[in-house]
Amino acid sequence: MKVQARIPLPPDVRREIDRVRLAYNPERAAGNPAHVTVAYQDEAPDPALLVERVRRAAAQIRRFRLAVGVPARFPPPVVGAFLPVADPAGGVASVRDVVLAPPFTRRGRFGLHVTLLHPDQGARLEAAWPAFAGLPQVGEFAVTELQVVGPDNAVIAVFPLAPDAEPAAAPDPAGL
């Protein structure tokens, strides 16, 4: 059974991304908003343990930011398109450390991305590329939750991340 952990893109960030995904890759995009997968079913094949690990990670890890790059093509021979995602503060790495501890095993290759056109529908790439290339630059967004999704990308569980630390109060100049 396909069960994965992912980070959903906020609605305002994914609006245009989802519009072009639905136009050119409806098989993968319908009912499956733009997201960044952080643990795949082949890495974490026990759904109950995956849910527990994602719950634990969300309780331990504060909100962080991810940066979305410009559209790119998968390297040959794969045909498809994606948005690369950078993890400047190591938030996803921290999530994966908690979630994919043994007995789970990490993939040999793992790259953060948002899929625009899945390789299964790669024959559409040339027609779709102008729309992908014209997407507005997303930049950074705040990661506020982790999701676990099951078959047909149905959301099984949502776990909010711990809020950012409150800023320290400024010293009282009067010494009160």
Domain boundaries, the chain: 4-160
pLDDT at residue 46, as a whole number: 97
The answer to whether residues 90 and 66 touch, using CB atoms and an 8 Å cutoff, is no
Q: What one-character-per-residue DSSP string does 94-113 give?
A: HHHHHHT-TTS---SS---E
Q: What is the number of other CB atoms lying within 10 angstroms of the CB of residue 63?
A: 15
Q: Using CA of residue 162, residue 56, residue 109, residue 2, what is the dihedral sign?
A: negative
Angle in degrees, CA 102, 104, 109, rounded to 5: 120
Question: Residue 64 region, left (φ>0) first, then alpha (ψ -120 to 50), else beta?
Answer: beta
- Tell which wins on pLDDT, 95 or 174: 95
- Tell which wins on pLDDT, 100 or 164: 100
pLDDT at residue 164, as a whole number: 72
Tokens of 85: 């995602």
Tokens of 148: 């676990």
Tens-place pLDDT, residues 55-89: 999 999 999 999 999 999 999 999 999 999 999 99
Q: Can you tell me the distance from the alpha carbon of 159 to that of 145, in angstroms, rounded to the nearest whole number?
A: 5
Q: If pLDDT is split at 50, 70 and 90, which confidence band does 165 have?
A: low
Whole-prediction pTM: 0.89
Tens-place pLDDT, residues 129-161: 999 999 999 999 999 999 999 999 999 999 999
Angle in degrees, CA 109, 111, 114, rounded to 5: 140
Question: Comparing C-alpha atoms, which of 85, 81, 153 is closest to residue 116?
Answer: 81
pLDDT at 12 over 90: yes
pLDDT at 170 over 50: no
pLDDT at residue 134, as a whole number: 96
DSSP state of 135: S
pLDDT at 176 over 80: no
With respect to CATH, is domain 4-160 assigned 3.90.1140.10? yes
